[in-house]
Structure 1
Amino acid sequence: MKGLQDSSMAIRSFIVMACLIVIMAGVKAASPIVVPFVLSAFLAMICNPAIVTMTRYKIPKGVAVLILMLFIVLIGLWLASLIGSSINEFSKQVPVYRTQLIDQFSWILEKLKSFNIHISKDKVLDYFDPSVALSMTTNMLSGVGNVMANLFLIILTIVFMLFEAQTLPKKFHLALDDPDMRLKQIDKFLQSVNQYMMIKTLVSLATGAVVGIGLTIIGVDYALLWAVIAFLFNYIPNIGSIIAAVPAVLLAFIQMGPGAAGITAALYLGTNTVMGNVVEPKYMGKGLGLSTLVVFLSLIFWGWMLGSVGMLLSVPLTMIVKIGLESSQSGNWLSILLSDASELDAESVENTASVDSESEAQPKLIDSANQHKQENSQDS
């Protein structure tokens, strides 16, 4: 009997793994359709609080959605124009920057020659080519740009999602056989993702503003472009701020030497340290309860599945998976593996408190029952 149960569990696990592989392959194959839809969903989450605020001031919902969509279109066109023109200008300036780079490295090469270490200038250009640093950034931006090419489809999807936003929680409850709305995981998911997207957007805006002002003061070219890149790449956990800093630091080194490059690196390091370790945790609290390792692995996985957009949205997408696993008994163990240590400690404290309260309540019930028996015996 036990052997049959073990074999059935093994077969069930094999079927689940096969289904997951098929689903992943389907999402990967359908990524040109899935990516705009996913991006629209998260943009709608960011926009919904603004719609709610405008409707509180007696603005009709249709007018509020129209105003917000016009704002998004204008911002999107401005970003596309800014990034495109800046990249074209940078490409034209690459020969000049290469010459300046050789001038900056000339004293280092002369110093190395005194130690009989001879390095050609061509080798320096191969390893420190300014166009390579920019191409690394533009390759990631091109993924977002390709999605934004479907701007009309994305805008329409956002509009319909905003009109459905108020009924969406109830639909989730009904879809999961919870008409009385007792399933707290759904509410937790919606609140957590909304909170994460709003706070992350505000922190990213502040990061981009500080970087842009700082680079303008230092005198680095294309400061506005690097500010926009800092804003966008701040959504990418762990490595986003590093990728955003590389081209700006290299350009500062080419233009003004190692001193300016050090100041630029300190600007990025200080800004991201304050925003990531002070401001963001203060307003986000425990965050979404994902461990650092899971955040990094999710960045790789969703980047492979959905490209640049998947990297930008890796944390909320992983949170969706975690909430889904928490809702099922069979997948609860996997959600525990994805959880942060602080969340596990909080759950263990709650479980201990509930056990203690039950253990304290049980002797009281026994004493009251014994007292009741004694009273009955005395009466008889």
Structure 2
Amino acid sequence: MGDVNINTNTSSMPAKILLYSTAVVLLTLGMKAISSILIPIFFSFFAFLIFSPLVRWLMKKGVPGKVSVFLVILLFIFVFFGTAVLFANSLIQLSNMIPSYDTQLQSILGTVSTHFPVSGDTLTSVLRSIATFAFRVSGNIVTGALNAGSTVVLIFIVTTFLLLDSAGAPVKVQKEVEDQPVYLSRFTELSKTVINFMLLRTETNLIGGIGVAILFLIGGIDFAVLWGLLFFLFGYIPYLGFYLATIPPMLLGLFKYGPVGALGVLVGVTIINALIENVLFPSIAGRGLKLSTTIVFLSLIYWSYVLGAAGALIAVPLTIVVKIVLESSEDTRLMAKLMESRGTRDQVEEDEGKNGA
């Protein structure tokens, strides 16, 4: 009888793999088709996760629920539009300076070509491509900001409704699942994990952005505040965000101080990034995040394909949600385990062994 069960499970495994693969493909294509709708919904959800603890804190201090939400939304609007004004002003000034920077770049390329007469043309082409790419990033940000007007309004509206519901949400959830403690536990785990990640990532990005802006102000790098904002925003993009945000200020350091300036910018931001990721953002790839490096990188590619550039900013929290959903079913729990880092699996097995002992 046991052999029959084993054979049945073994034979059903290819069918399950085919079924899950087909479902993933269809879901991916479906999400990509409605990405313009999903982007404001996802960003509203994560904005809600960032600001909802503040609503609960105000309510604990005795502030009525709706008043708490109103105050938090005002803060949301103030932070967003204040940042947008600083961002737009810096980008306008940067666009006015581009002709001057182009002249400096031509001079530097001419100097470099004299030292590398054999491969001068190739080196010139490479440096010009790097410069073009770096400033194109800023241009894309401006275009994205101009095209995001209606989306931003929708994000404000959806976030407001989510915050208004958040006051009574714990009570509603408790009433609905009081006889189903397993579902309540999974909902609580999902909320805590994603909220903790979003809060920690936002706080560390803010500290890193401020540190970069101060460093550039001291070093005399143009548009220090703009690059600080860029580091804050790109800090949500794992691995690649740091390098994308480093290229433009490195070029300005090169224009102002020569190769030493570019190297100084790279060393300075590398030190800040190392402190942020290894000290202020502890164990995020281990027990806190529980995602392997490969999964994080693949999730960046996947969500960028599905949602475009916006997907890169929220790839990690979306993947955390997917992992927790997979953990909620016995059939997909193995897939969730495969998404974990090796160190996390070893630590979990060690803890289970101690508990069993």
Return 193-202 or 182-191, whichever deviates more. 182-191
Note the alpha carbon deviations across 1:302-337, whole angstroms, 9 max, x for none: 111112221111111111111111111110111111
1:265 is matched with which residue? 266
In the TM superposition, residue 157 of structure 1 has moved relative to its aligned partner by: 0.8
1:73 counterpart = 2:77: yes
Q: Secondary structure at the match of 1:96?
A: helix
Question: AA paired with 1:84?
Answer: A
1:64 is matched with which residue? 68
Distance 1:301 1:125 in 2: 30
1:54 counterpart = 2:55: no
CA contact (8 A) 1:36 1:147 kept: no
In the TM superposition, residue 229 of structure 1 has moved relative to its aligned partner by: 0.5
Question: AA paired with 2:328?
Answer: S
In the TM superposition, residue 342 of structure 1 has moved relative to its aligned partner by: 2.4
Distance 1:169 1:302 in 2: 30
1:119 is matched with which residue? 121
In the TM superposition, residue 282 of structure 1 has moved relative to its aligned partner by: 6.8
Distance 1:142 1:189 in 2: 34
Note the alpha carbon deviations across 1:263-307, whole angstroms, 9 max, x for none: 111111010000111111079973211111111111111111112
Distance 2:292 2:145 in 1: 27
Distance 1:120 1:326 in 2: 52
Distance 1:72 1:239 in 2: 27
1:246 is matched with which residue? 247
Distance 1:20 1:263 in 2: 45
2:97 is matched with which residue? 93
1:371 is matched with which residue? none
1:19 counterpart = 2:17: no
CA contact (8 A) 1:169 1:186 kept: no
Distance 1:333 1:142, change over 3 A: farther
1:35 maps to which of 39, 45, 66:
39
Distance 1:203 1:4, change over 3 A: closer
Distance 1:73 1:205 in 2: 17
1:188 counterpart = 2:189: yes
CA contact (8 A) 1:173 1:186 kept: no
1:139 counterpart = 2:140: yes
Note the alpha carbon deviations across 1:219-261, whole angstroms, 9 max, x for none: 1111111110011111111111111111111111122211111
CA contact (8 A) 2:205 2:231 kept: yes
Gaps of 5+ in 1: 358-380
Distance 2:227 2:251 in 1: 12
Gaps of 5+ in 2: none
Q: Secondary structure at the match of 1:59?
A: coil
1:281 is matched with which residue? 282
Return 177-186 or 253-262, whichever deviates more. 177-186
Question: AA paired with 1:126?
Answer: R
Distance 1:319 1:178, change over 3 A: farther
Q: Secondary structure at the match of 1:149?
A: helix
Superposed, which structure 2 residues align to 1:1-380 within 5 Å?
A: 8-113=12-117, 118-119=120-121, 123=125, 126-129=128-131, 131-139=132-140, 142-143=143-144, 146-147=147-148, 149-168=150-169, 179-183=179-183, 184-281=185-282, 286-355=287-356, 357=357
1:362 is matched with which residue? none
Question: AA paired with 1:228?
Answer: L
Aligned length: 352
Please report the TM-score for the alignment, with normalisation by the length of structure 1: 0.83
Q: Secondary structure at the match of 2:330?
A: coil
In the TM superposition, residue 146 of structure 1 has moved relative to its aligned partner by: 3.8
Distance 1:274 1:200 in 2: 14
1:367 is matched with which residue? none
RMSD, matched Cα: 2.7
Distance 2:141 2:286 in 1: 30
Note the alpha carbon deviations across 1:52-99, whole angstroms, 9 max, x for none: 222222222212211221222222223333333332332232221111
Distance 1:20 1:174 in 2: 33
In the TM superposition, residue 201 of structure 1 has moved relative to its aligned partner by: 0.8
In the TM superposition, residue 171 of structure 1 has moved relative to its aligned partner by: 6.3
Question: AA paired with 1:33?
Answer: I
Distance 1:315 1:7 in 2: 34
Question: AA paired with 1:220?
Answer: I
Question: AA paired with 2:129?
Answer: Y
- Percent of residue pairs bearing the same amino acid type: 28
CA contact (8 A) 1:211 1:230 kept: yes
CA contact (8 A) 1:41 1:158 kept: yes
Q: Secondary structure at the match of 1:182?
A: helix
Please report the TM-score for the alignment, with normalisation by the length of structure 2: 0.88
CA contact (8 A) 2:300 2:315 kept: yes
Distance 1:120 1:296 in 2: 31
Distance 1:172 1:306, change over 3 A: farther
Distance 2:9 2:339 in 1: 28
CA contact (8 A) 2:109 2:124 kept: no
Q: Secondary structure at the match of 1:289?
A: coil
